[in-house]
Amino acid sequence: MALSSKTKAVLLGPLSKNNPIIVQVLGICSALAVTSKLEPSLVMAIAVTIVTAFANMIISLLRKSIPNRIRIIVQLVVVASLVTIVSEILKAYSYDVNKQLSVFVGLIVTNCILMGRLEAFALGNGPWPSFLDGIGNGLGYGWILVVVGFFRELLGSGTLMNFQVIPDALYEMGYENNGLMVLAPMALLLVGCIIWIHRANNKELQEETN
């Protein structure tokens, strides 16, 4: 399928230059809390991508009939219904992951990525570009989650997707898992480092003040 340059920008921009987490600072809350293992990070990334894409599309279809004053409530209702569907599906098909994610599936509702994209994009664009924008932002959110989840699980528990990857021989030589990586603050530190690397490579994103 050939994509025009505009659709490409909509889809791929959020992966790097316009990344929702490290550039727009949206949706941090859930991003940090679920990343102590790779598996929940992946599930969360997929869930957010799906919800963002469809919420964007629905709001974009409704955009001409929503009164401006109550639009936030309308948006929240659309998003909350979608999230309820996703969370019921998760409960049915992967109950363990659902337990690990606990309230954070529900908190997709207040994930700022959703509101941000709905306000900034879906209200002013057609359904198809909005859908792509949702997918792009979901993926941009997702890859950060997966990278953080990867490092935290690898260094913190020596496993990936619950399979042991650090060989036993290494442990016998005195290698220890870094328990600190599993703790919550390390997620912040890792995201901080990702931002550092990203901005070192993209000079135009650097800020002048603290």
- For binding to other proteins (CB under 8 A), which residues are involved? 22, 25-30, 32-33, 72-73, 76-77, 80-81, 83-84, 87-88, 102-103, 106-107, 109-112, 115, 183-189, 191-192, 195-200, 206-210
Taking the complex as a whole, how short is the minimal distance between the CB of residue 208 and other proteins, in angstroms? 7
The structure tokens listed for 36 are 């102590």
Q: Which is nearer to other proteins, 5 or 209 (CB)?
A: 209
Provide the H-helix boundaries in the chain.
5-12, 28-33, 38-62, 71-93, 95-101, 112-120, 127-157, 168-172, 184-201
Give least dist CB 6 to other proteins, A.
28
Dmax (CA) for the chain in angstroms is 66
Residue with Cβ nearer other proteins (85 or 165): 85
Which is closer to other proteins, CB of 63 or CB of 199?
199
- Between helices 5-12 and 127-157, what is the axis angle to 10°? 30
State in angstroms the smallest separation of the CB of 172 from other proteins. Answer: 31
Written as six digits, the tokens of 110 are 């207040």
